[in-house]
Structure formats: structure tokens, C-alpha cells
């Protein structure tokens, strides 16, 4: 388990943007002081909720799980952010992730704030029934602090539409009870509106077309916009760390866009396939075996002769054009940043690069497209799902993807322009954009 505290990393990222914002020469001393007060408020979550969830296990024993929901900031709209299931979840991690959500929603210019949830659990150790009881328990535990206009959770690492379905079901039960208290029953329309409390739902539960692949597709749109600015063209290669929802989809979209993905990994290790991996076949092979090792699938076949095994560490140092950390925090650190050979880093995970590594990469001239920009496609389509539920609409995939493309292009442009104007790296630029928008909304 990494010892680098992600919340401290997040605060150190904010610091650079804070200095640029407060030291603006056009501001009077009084204005600077007022801004500083607001920024100081932005350094603390507005609400931290700790829940305990007792679950009866399949063998009849009871296990008590710890969970969190952190509501970081709602200046721009309801708290928004996913729920993570992982054995290394900690309060500081959830605090960092919720802060990044506030920044991310502002970069994408969504009318939403930032929140995040997490449960300390290794979901792979649970049966489906145990997972359902845990998820329902968490949904019930946070029901009083969420809602369409207060806090809108979604999937994150190890959670998905099925889990959102269980949670929304528990949430609706509490809402029906409340309505009954006032002698009312909820109509179908009321229920659909209330379902907007969770996004990333299955389509049958009111989910949006395109949500599942939105983070990956948004990442491709952002990458293409930034590659244009960097004038990086030609036959490009990529290595992707992570093969969950985000990892798989970015591999798929890179491949479809003509970028050769030569390596990919999961938590157990990775594969290196110089001819370029076939995403669908690789996923199928991983599902069958339970791991990626040996899944050297390229073209139309999987063949042991087509590739070799790589460790997660070695994957980061491969000679590729684009490195995509799409797993967890602290993948790129001061230990390995100097050894990275990629020309550009596309952060699809949240917080994969430490502040020390950022400095090293900047000095090396390797642009890092920051998480709060590059993985904002997921929450952007979440915002579309929320809007569709509230308006009682269902948009087509083509409509969703068109809107996503516009949002991503605008966000990438704003970040690029800020980096030029302030002669700074893309992460600081993204924070400057986000900070400016949040400060404007703060009372
Ligand atoms: N968990 C995703 C993220 O980190 C999506 C959050 C959402 O859709 O609210 O951006």
C-alpha cells in the first residue's frame, strides 16, 4: 500500500494555482484577502460522513464494514462523485477524490460540486449476495444526505451499474416512506426524478446511453485535442496501466482511433504485445482466465508467441508515445518518473502522478494531461443522465456523444489557453480554470 497521502498531494496541486490566482496584479489588497478567505474554505470538505455497514455473510456470520461519503464542495451545484470499493480505501483518499471531483466538474463546466464515497472492502472476496447486501446497506446508510439537488453518487473503482441499481432501490424505499409520512404516494414521474440521485445506472433503471464508455471516449477526445496543440502526429503507440471499465474503454477507443496499444495491465501484472493488442479478444481472454497473463491477443487471434509478460512497473517505462495510467493513485512517483520514455502522459485514473513526479516530468518536457481534464468524460455523461432523469427524457447515444465531444473540446481548450496565458503546466492550468469558476460561484 502506498504511503503517499493523496489528500496532501491534492492540496499541493492546489497551492500552485492558488498562488497564481491570488497574486494577480490587477487585484487590490482587499480583493486578494477576500479571495484567500474563499480558497481557505475550499481546502476543507464541507461534510464528512462515516458509516458502518453490518452484513450477514453467506455462512451466517456477521461482518461490519466501514464506509465514507465526503461532500467536499457544493458551490457550483450538488455534490457529485463516485463510490469506490477497495481494501485500501481511507478517509484521506476519499477526501482527495472528492476534492478532485469538485475541480473536475468545474473544468468540465458542469453545474455540479464535488463529493466521493468509499467502502473498505475487497469486493472480489464477496459473493454476489454479500455484495448486494453491502451495497444496499451503504445506500440506506447515506440515504439521508443524498438526493437530486444535494448529492449525486455514481460508480468508481470496482462499482458499476448493477451496484447503483441496488443503491437507488434502497434510496427509493426511504423516499416512499417519507412520502407516506405526509399521506402521499410517489408517482412514476416522481420516482424517475428521484432516480437522478444516482448516475451510472443500467439503462433499464434510467441510465444514460453512452455512460459506461464515457470516461474512455472523453479521454480520447481530450487526447486528440491536446495532441493537436502539441503537433504530435503520425503512427503513435500507447501503454495503458489498468484494465477495469476506464482502462478497457480507453484501450478500445485508442485502438479505434488508430493508436497502437502495445501494453496493458491489471492489478496482477501486464502484457506486452508489440503488434498491438486486440481489446475485445484480450478482455474475453482475461474474463476466461481471471488474469491478463498469456492473453497475447492481436489481430484476430490470441497466441503465446505474440507477446510477453511485463510487470506494472516495467509497463510505465516502455518506449511508447503515450502513457496512460488508468488504475489507482500514485503510479508515477519520484522513483520512476525519470525513467518514463513516453512523450505525453494521459491520466485516466484519479491522482496517478505525485507532485514530485510532476516536477520531474515537467523538467523532462513530458506534458501530463491531468486527470481532472482527461477523465472528466465520465462525470460529464453522468451530468447528462441526471439531466435526462430530471426532465423525463432519454437521449440517443449519438446525441450523448455529440454533447460529450463539445464539452471535452471546450474543457481542453480552456485548459490549454490557461497554460499558455500563465506559462505553466497543464495540471496547474486546469486548477486555475477550475478555481476561477468555483471562486466565482462561492458566496
Ligand atoms: N468515478 C468517476 C470519476 O472519478 C465518475 C464520477 C461521476 O460520474 O459522478 O470521475
Q: Alpha-carbon distance 389 to 218, whole Å? A: 21
36 and 55 inside one domain? no
98 and 245 inside one domain? no
Which one of 379, 381, 408 would you pick to mutate in the ligand 1 pocket, going by the greatest count of ligand atoms within 8 A of its CB?
Answer: 379
Contact 78, 153 (CB under 8 A): no
81 in contact with ligand 1, CB cutoff 6 A: yes
Q: What are phi and psi of 281, to 5 degrees?
A: -65, -40
Q: Quick: pLDDT tens for 278-292.
A: 999 999 999 999 999
Of the chain, the end-to-end C-alpha distance in Å amounts to: 39
Q: How far is the CA of 154 from the centre of ligand 1 (A)?
A: 6
The one-character DSSP state at 270 is: E
Which one of 6, 76, 82 would you pick to mutate in the ligand 1 pocket, going by the greatest count of ligand atoms within 8 A of its CB?
Answer: 82
Q: Alpha-carbon distance 279 to 255, whole Å? A: 8
Q: How far is the CA of 279 from the centre of ligand 1 (A)?
A: 23
Residue 408: its pLDDT value, please? 98
403 is a domain residue: no
426 is a domain residue: no
Give the domain CATH number at 96. 3.40.50.10860
390 is a domain residue: no
14 and 158 inside one domain? no
Residue 3: its pLDDT value, please? 74
Enumerate the active-site residues. 116
Q: Quick: pLDDT tens for 240-277.
A: 999 999 999 999 999 999 999 999 999 999 999 999 99
Which whole-number Å values give the CA distances from 418 to 21, 127, 209, in the listed order?
A: 12, 48, 32
* Statement: residue 1 has pLDDT above 50: no
* Statement: residue 106 has pLDDT above 50: yes
Q: How far is the CA of 275 from the centre of ligand 1 (A)?
A: 32
Percent of the chain predicted with pLDDT > 70: 100
375 in contact with ligand 1, CB cutoff 6 A: yes
Counting Cα atoms < 13 Å in the Cβ hemisphere of 343 gives: 12
pLDDT band at 2 (very low <50, low <70, confident <90, very high): low
Cα 300–chain centre separation: 31
From 349, 374, 399, the end of a domain falls on 374
Q: Where are the extended beta strands (E) located within 303-409?
A: 308-310, 322-325, 344-346, 368-369
Q: Alpha-carbon distance 340 to 409, whole Å? A: 27
414 is a domain residue: no
Q: Quick: pLDDT tens for 169-183.
A: 999 999 999 999 999
Beta partners for residue 53, in sequence order: 65
From 374, 390, 406, the end of a domain falls on 374
116 in contact with ligand 1, CB cutoff 6 A: no
- At 84 the three-state DSSP class reads strand
307 and 367 inside one domain? yes
64 is a domain residue: yes
Question: Residue of the nearest CA to atom 8 in ligand 1?
Answer: 379
Contact 289, 266 (CB under 8 A): no
424 is a domain residue: no
287 and 230 inside one domain? yes
Which one of 76, 78, 81 would you pick to mutate in the ligand 1 pocket, going by the greatest count of ligand atoms within 8 A of its CB?
Answer: 81
Q: pTM value?
A: 0.97
* Statement: residue 226 has pLDDT above 90: yes
197 in contact with ligand 1, CB cutoff 6 A: no
Q: How far is the CA of 215 from the centre of ligand 1 (A)?
A: 8
If you average pLDDT over every residue of the chain, what do you get? 97
Q: Quick: pLDDT tens for 387-425.
A: 999 999 999 999 999 999 999 999 999 999 999 999 999
209 is a domain residue: no
* Statement: residue 7 has pLDDT above 50: yes
172 and 82 inside one domain? yes
Contact 317, 340 (CB under 8 A): yes
Q: Quick: pLDDT tens for 118-148.
A: 999 999 999 999 999 999 999 999 999 999 9
Residue 314: its pLDDT value, please? 96
Which atom of ligand 1 is found nearest the CA of 82? 1
176 and 289 inside one domain? no
262 and 361 inside one domain? yes
Give the domain CATH number at 281. 3.40.50.720
Q: What is the mean pLDDT of residues 351-358?
A: 97
314 and 344 inside one domain? yes
205 is a domain residue: no
Question: Residue of the nearest CA to atom 5 in ligand 1?
Answer: 379
* Number of separate domains in the chain: 3
Residue 80 Rama label (left phi>0; alpha psi -120 to 50; beta)? beta
The domain in which residue 148 lies consists of: 44-193
Q: Alpha-carbon distance 407 to 374, whole Å? A: 12
Q: How far is the CA of 130 from the centre of ligand 1 (A)?
A: 24
127 and 183 inside one domain? yes
73 and 150 inside one domain? yes
229 and 368 inside one domain? yes
Amino acid at each position: 500500500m502506498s504511503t503517499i497521502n493523496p489528500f496532501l498531494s491534492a492540496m499541493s496541486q492546489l497551492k500552485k494555482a492558488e498562488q497564481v490566482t491570488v497574486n494577480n496584479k490587477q487585484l487590490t489588497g482587499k480583493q486578494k484577502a477576500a479571495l484567500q478567505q474563499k480558497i481557505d474554505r475550499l481546502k476543507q470538505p464541507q461534510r464528512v460522513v462515516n458509516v458502518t455497514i453490518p452484513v450477514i455473510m453467506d455462512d451466517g456470520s456477521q461482518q461490519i464494514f466501514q464506509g465514507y461519503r465526503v461532500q467536499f464542495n457544493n458551490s457550483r451545484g450538488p455534490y457529485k462523485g463516485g463510490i469506490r470499493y477497495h481494501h485500501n480505501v481511507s478517509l484521506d483518499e476519499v477526501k482527495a477524490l472528492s476534492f478532485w471531483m469538485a475541480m473536475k466538474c468545474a473544468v468540465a463546466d458542469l453545474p455540479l460540486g464535488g463529493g466521493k464515497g468509499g467502502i473498505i472492502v475487497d469486493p472480489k472476496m464477496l459473493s454476489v449476495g454479500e455484495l448486494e447486501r453491502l451495497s444496499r446497506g451503504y445506500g440506506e446508510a447515506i440515504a439521508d444526505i443524498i438526493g437530486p439537488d444535494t448529492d449525486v453518487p455514481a460508480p468508481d473503482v470496482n462499482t458499476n451499474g448493477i451496484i447503483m441499481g441496488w443503491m437507488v432501490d434502497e434510496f427509493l424505499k426511504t423516499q416512499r416512506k417519507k412520502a407516506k409520512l405526509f399521506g402521499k404516494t410517489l408517482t412514476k414521474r416522481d420516482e424517475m426524478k428521484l432516480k437522478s440521485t444516482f448516475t451510472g445506472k443500467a439503462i433499464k433503471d434510467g441510465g444514460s446511453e453512452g455512460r459506461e464508455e464515457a470516461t474512455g471516449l472523453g479521454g480520447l477526445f481530450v487526447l486528440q485535442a491536446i495532441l493537436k496543440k502539441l503537433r504530435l502526429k503520425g503512427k503513435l503507440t500507447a501503454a495503458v496501466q489498468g484494465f477495469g471499465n476506464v482502462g478497457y474503454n480507453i484501450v478500445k477507443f485508442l485502438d479505434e482511433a488508430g493508436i497502437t496499444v502495445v501494453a496493458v495491465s491489471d492489478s496482477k501484472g501486464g502484457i506486452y504485445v508489440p503488434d498491438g493488442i486486440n481489446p475485445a479478444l484480450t478482455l474475453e481472454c482475461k474474463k476466461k482466465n481471471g488474469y491478463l497473463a498469456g492473453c497475447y491477443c492481436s489481430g484476430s487471434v490470441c497466441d503465446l508467441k505474440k507477446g510477453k509478460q511485463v510487470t506494472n512497473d516495467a509497463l510505465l517505462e516502455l518506449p511508447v508515445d503515450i502513457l496512460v495510467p488508468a488504475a489507482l493513485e500514485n503510479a508515477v512517483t519520484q522513483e520512476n518518473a525519470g525513467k518514463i520514455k513516453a512523450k505525453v502522459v494521459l491520466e485516466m485514473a484519479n491522482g496517478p502522478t505525485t507532485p514530485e513526479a510532476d516536477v520531474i516530468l515537467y523538467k523532462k518536457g513530458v506534458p501530463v494531461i491531468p486527470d481532472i481534464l482527461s477523465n472528466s468524460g465520465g462525470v460529464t455523461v453522468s451530468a447528462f443522465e441526471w439531466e435526462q432523469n430530471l426532465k423525463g427524457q432519454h437521449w440517443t447515444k449519438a446525441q450523448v456523444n455529440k454533447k460529450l465531444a463539445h464539452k471535452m473540446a471546450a474543457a481542453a481548450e480552456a485548459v490549454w489557453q490557461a497554460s499558455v496565458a500563465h506559462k505553466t503546466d497543464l495540471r496547474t492550468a486546469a486548477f486555475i480554470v477550475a478555481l476561477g469558476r468555483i471562486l466565482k460561484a462561492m458566496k
